[in-house]
A and B are shown apart, each in its own frame.
Chain A
């Protein structure tokens, strides 16, 4: 592949020396911004991104251009100068198994800033925030430095590139937790409140930060924007191999020969990612299953290896595209214990706001611990199934608990024998290998 086919990582070198402003500009950096601001009206930028088919890379997969178009813009799409609007970059990557946004933040921070400036222009926001998890210290230092450079160069501040458009971007570093990645919880956290999610509607695009129209976009999503503007909609649409457009950072972790992260076309077959890019399983281990899009997605099996990694294909196979970073279950790791680890995470990270999640997740953890300790009863499996229904979409305030139930319900379906072995008092055939 030449560099044009890897727009997101073209400046990211194998030795991982990060891209400076000079590096970024050398490969066309800030040209997309110039085009947007000098040649296009805000509504036209929205239309470009909608036409490009870009879908949110944070996990939900909602059309980015469509999200932008829902922001109230005033008469005839001309921005009402008196209406405050906000843009927020969601840099709160914390889904277990996801490690893509950190790379973009650390290695090419100007790419995110250019994407944010264009996005802010498209919705006519004059203030933007980067909400970054507190653990990403190196990313915070590099982004803060890039913000200074962008201010000095006139990409931020008043009259950006001699236009009438003004924008300031502030870096907000968080102190946790996972729920802050949910956009309404993120907004509460940004306002200095306990990060409980908010009821929807109203949606954040209408009433978000301090009650003002707010667009929250994932880091990787925003990093796509400069390239769409610079190289055009047709070019972007041509990058995908399946139904979806563009490229994606795909990751794989677990007992693989070469766990890692690769920018590949949307719609790359899962087999290619696991077998070619990750080099297949380590010697002595076989593939038993995988969570294709992070910890909150359903297990798939080796028979699903030829599924394409795009939103609809993974959904059709029974799971979720999520963050596009997969976690591998090998044949020497116990799936029941793996699910317990995941449910412990979600139980701990639940904000406790709504009852099914606050009580249901600890109950799930207790049942799984009992089963593993040999105290389980066969009826417990029905109780666990019942919990997956109790915490299904629509029964909870936000998507945390339904996401938590995805690995569990698929494990109950695919690995039921592993649960039963503990309950029926047979020695667990799968020994921990650590």
Chain B
């Protein structure tokens, strides 16, 4: 019975995901420490963490799903809902707010016809707010995928979206 459960849980993960997660464990005292990293590996392959994946990763790390869910829902950069190919995080902390992050959000959302948190109809983009990105001397800023973009104007938003 136990074997069956494990088998069905692990079927949720690809061999590459399991290999990459296991490779992280050697850097730490125990498996629990790779909780966040494991979720990030899942996202690298699938963009987001489904319930099935979460349970499978918990099994792999010998944690309760509740523990891992506590981490997953706590972290800003772990997505528990599907996201587009590129996630655009717009900074809405104080300096960016002062210098126009509301306009940046509106321009992004209007072009993509979404509200923050939603995926565009073509599956290309999700727009999300993020806390201070540490580039306040170039506010407002956004992060497009992994790339930080500075001094955002409406024209730069258009360029990012290829409009």
Q: A residues touching B (Cβ–Cβ < 8 Å)?
A: 93-99, 101-102, 134-138, 170, 172-178, 189-195, 209-210, 251-255, 259-261, 295, 325, 327, 333, 338, 341-342, 345, 348-349, 351, 434
Q: Counting CB contacts under 8 A, is B112 at the interface?
A: no
Which partner residue on chain A sits nearest B89 by CB separation?
A135
| Majority-rule SS of B interface residues | mixed
Complex Cα–Cα for A195 and B77 (A): 14
CA distance A135 to B133 in the complex (A): 7
Task: Pick the residue among B35, B37, B134 that contacts A102 (CB under 8 A).
Answer: B134
Task: Give the A-B pair count, Cβ closer than 8 A.
Answer: 145
**Contact A138 B148, beta carbon cutoff 8 Å:** yes
Contact B95 A175 (CB under 8 A): no
Check if B36 is an interface residue, CB within 8 A of chain A.
Answer: yes
Complex contact B131–A94 (CB within 8 A): yes
Chain B residues closer than 8 Å to A259, beta-carbon distance: 136-139
B14 CB-CB contact with A under 8 Å: no
Q: Which residue of A lies closest to B94 (CB)?
A: A96
Whether, in the assembled complex, B146 has its beta carbon less than 8 Å from a beta carbon of chain A, the answer is yes
Q: Which residues of A contact B32 (CB under 8 A)?
A: 191-193
Write out the residue numbers on chain B whose beta carbons fall within 8 Å of the beta carbon of A345. Answer: 93-94, 131-132
One of A177, A192, A327 near B136 (C-beta < 8 A): A327
Q: A94-B132, A192-B33 are in contact. Are A135 and B77 (CB under 8 A)?
A: yes
Q: Are A93 and B134 in contact (CB under 8 A)?
A: yes
The interface-forming segment of B4-12, B68-76, B115-123, B155-163 is B68-76
From the candidates B92, B99, B131, name the one contacting A255 in the complex (CB within 8 A).
B99
Residue numbers in B under 8 Å from A174 (CB-CB): 36, 75
- The answer, among B71, B89, B133, for a CB contact under 8 Å with A192, is B71
Q: Which residue of B lies closest to A190 (CB)?
A: B33
Given contacts A99-B132, A135-B134, A176-B77, 7 further A-B contacts (CB under 8 A): A94-B132, A96-B94, A137-B146, A192-B28, A193-B71, A254-B98, A434-B103
A192 touches B74 (CB 8 A): no
Asked whether A135 and B143 contact (CB < 8 A) given A94-B134, A345-B94, the answer is yes
Pick the most buried of B70, B93, B136: most chain A CB atoms within 10 A of its CB.
B136
Structural contact, A96 and B75, CB atoms closer than 8 A: no
User: Top 6 closest A-B pairs, CB basis?
Assistant: A176-B76, A192-B35, A253-B136, A175-B75, A96-B93, A192-B32
Residues of B with C-beta under 8 A to A190: 33
With A96-B93, A99-B135 as known contacts, state yes or no: A134 contacts B40, CB within 8 Å.
Answer: yes
Contact A97 B148 (CB under 8 A): no
Q: Which of B75-131 contact A (CB under 8 A)?
A: 75-78, 89, 92-95, 97-100, 102-103, 130-131
Residues of A with C-beta under 8 A to B133: 135
Q: Which residues of A contact B102 (CB under 8 A)?
A: 434
